[in-house]
Structure 1
């Protein structure tokens, strides 16, 4: 790493960078508990309610590659601080929004800021901690704050919504971003650009538009149907734009997604698995609070407090991930983690319209928290290790892209399927039973996706792609030597 500043305390720098990641993840889920109040406050439709979540996730995911590339070209610390400043300003704008278009636009701007923060912060962590036990601990902390941020968002969203109203969920994020900005400015060393190439404007615009059209089509299919001409046209346009992106990348001298990033095989495997994990991650924090409030009748505060077991389990899993990997092997660790989370979601698929938190939610939350955190740490390490230093920001952007875009697509698909199940059930069941049927469908499909992801992880390991233990060291081994 080339720096022009003195690192007074690597621990302080790591704390600031972890705080940046925590804030980004917090903003992903903090709106979920408050969605009913936001809907009535700014006059949102059903589709608009989903876009309060997806506007952030889509802008975040679609622009992460550009954010990672910008960090490599312009300097990681500089991009991090700029992203935090934008994040704080757009969060304040969201809290002040008096109409649904302004709120959704502010959420999209939040996503743009997050797209600069996440890859720059992860690349700086990789710079500060070279391969070895130190990096493994740093990635464990990274995994803990990432998962805990999602759970804490639901908790804080419930507390603030009930105490002072939904605008305060955005004011709190703005305050947190300002505090992290100050900490990062004081503790993170100044870095120079890692690459002197050109920015791929055409490729960035093409892939961003492609992902936007894809998620819009998936979201629209929920109310218009999968055979609607606009939906089919959207899917066709998204496919054409993604094809154009591939062609642009092949001929650009400094492509947004250079082929060298995938030469080891580990990056591709890690990102594929992370996309599948992400496809159920965001949806979990979307559906679970809605079930608690709309079916069980919990207040926003009680629904938020209900996320504490998941948050604690997440932190426990992140701490255990390095030890598990050393003891039973990296492949067994990530596979076991995915199956553990799948079991928790399968348990959730048995929720009842007349259930309770203790019976229906507590146990599954613990399993999901542990499995999610262990899998996240392992797959993050796999996705960023072994890449050239000049591409560290881009690799960080890519793994966040696959998780976030996977989450946006997964939420759109699961919301569509859950809505279809609810509509069908409503023809012969009371409202609460119909809503529960939709949530059961979402959780059951999520469980099946993760079980399939675990099987895919085993298949990839047999092809000599080793999931990285969070020590930062990779060892290519024959399948027979995997645990």
Structure 2
């Protein structure tokens, strides 16, 4: 065992001092189940309302121009506050933050389901976004501090990654089913019993986790990075809606970049920075999170592109398009189960490179989609399955890479960074690809024009995945983690 692992075990109250078992039993198994259920629910929330937006607009009287704020208000908070709340968990206790944020999510979901006005629904979505920004890094930090580096943590992260990705896909399917069969309100209500069940079980199985030496909160750094991320996410969503030359998009992007520069300057000067630059200087942390960002940008935006293709080119209903992504969800589950075995037998670098190559090949295969329903679906379904397997190898590899070699006191920060990469990637992908489609179609809305726009965006998507493979091979080749 390395000195780092030994130090981690001495400081973490959730890790036993005795040799770690190689199988999950008893309390650790129940703990993992609770955390995975919560993370799955949080992932579902990212996409469950996408199909329901038109129905919500009609039910509450949203104007067409304001309808996007149902998704944007959630995304802004979920991405912008993640790093801040990840560090807060280090200070006040991750268990406390995790349980409190799940309680907020349950209440916000109930309010959203009962909303009678656009304003109240937006307030509920903001609260859901803040709850997600707090619960996701706290839950992931509880997971990494409960299982030491090695096979158990790799298996736990594999299951976590699989359920997160499957949750995003399930949300798209579930949103369509609930909206068609019951009401869009059930896309909110479904969170309430799940959150309540987790809150009833979690206090008895989760132990508090926080570093023994708690640093002071870097408030200037926290404000700079939070506002900077909010600016970037806002700018990207506006670019996706109105194009890259839109004044609001440009203002958001420029403001976001400037504030992130301010954040970097602040972190260099304060005594106890929110993100110590020595942590970002670790190759596995920095490049691992870049790979995670690319992984979430590409696969989640591919769901948007294929939804657009199936509905606008092939004429599928929203429900039929959503159900088609069940194959992608199955691929992510298979990839999540396979990834720990690949890492155990080879290395995280192998998982990152092999997964990226598989995802690149099967994403590029989608360039051959056409207007024939039968032949196109015969290509789309296996391509999304194997692309999902490859993407999950990358996601699990990135999570293992970016959280390894760090003591318990920095796990909240590490998981905050990985969660930020995830949330920002999910938020960035769709507006970027939407802007590419808009530019490629030059305003035309015919089936052929949509197909041309989608295939152009798919080519960019595949190029981004290939870029991730190159980054892993060049910058992480000395960081192979053999088990």
- 1:304 aligned counterpart, secondary structure: helix
Gaps of 5+ in 1: 474-483
2:293 and 2:323 map into 1 onto residues whose CA distance is: 28
Query: Do residues 267 (structure 1) and 285 (structure 2) align?
Result: yes
Which of 260-269 and 451-460 deviates more? Answer: 260-269
1:287 and 1:403 map into 2 onto residues whose CA distance is: 19
- 2:282 aligned counterpart, secondary structure: coil
Query: Do residues 280 (structure 1) and 294 (structure 2) align?
Result: no
**Contact 2:305–2:433 under 8 Å retained in 1:** no
Name the residue aligned to 1:175: 193
Name the residue aligned to 2:479: 465
Name the residue aligned to 1:163: 181
2:310 and 2:15 map into 1 onto residues whose CA distance is: 49
List aligned pairs for 1:53-452, cutoff 5 A: 53-192=71-210, 194-222=212-240, 224-356=242-374, 358-426=377-445, 431-452=446-467
Query: Do residues 15 (structure 1) and 33 (structure 2) align?
Result: yes
**Contact 1:88–1:173 under 8 Å retained in 2:** yes
Structure 1 residues 57 and 223 mapped into 2: Cα distance closer, same or farther (>3 Å)? closer
Superposition CA RMSD, Å: 2.6
1:367 and 1:281 map into 2 onto residues whose CA distance is: 12
Structure 1 residues 402 and 5 mapped into 2: Cα distance closer, same or farther (>3 Å)? closer
- TM-score in terms of structure 1 length: 0.88
**Contact 2:140–2:415 under 8 Å retained in 1:** yes
Structure 1 residues 338 and 100 mapped into 2: Cα distance closer, same or farther (>3 Å)? farther
- TM-score in terms of structure 2 length: 0.88
Aligned length: 464
> In the alignment, which of 11, 15, 28 is matched to residue 46 of structure 2?
28
1:329 and 1:385 map into 2 onto residues whose CA distance is: 13
**Contact 1:58–1:405 under 8 Å retained in 2:** no
TM-fit CA distance, 1:178? 2.2
1:295 and 1:388 map into 2 onto residues whose CA distance is: 51
TM-fit CA distance, 1:362? 0.8
Structure 1 residues 222 and 18 mapped into 2: Cα distance closer, same or farther (>3 Å)? closer
Gaps of 5+ in 2: 1-10, 17-24
TM-fit CA distance, 1:49? 4.5
Structure 1 residues 203 and 192 mapped into 2: Cα distance closer, same or farther (>3 Å)? closer
TM-fit CA distance, 1:293? 3.4
TM-fit CA distance, 1:173? 2.4
Structure 1 residues 235 and 151 mapped into 2: Cα distance closer, same or farther (>3 Å)? closer
- 1:349 aligned counterpart, secondary structure: helix
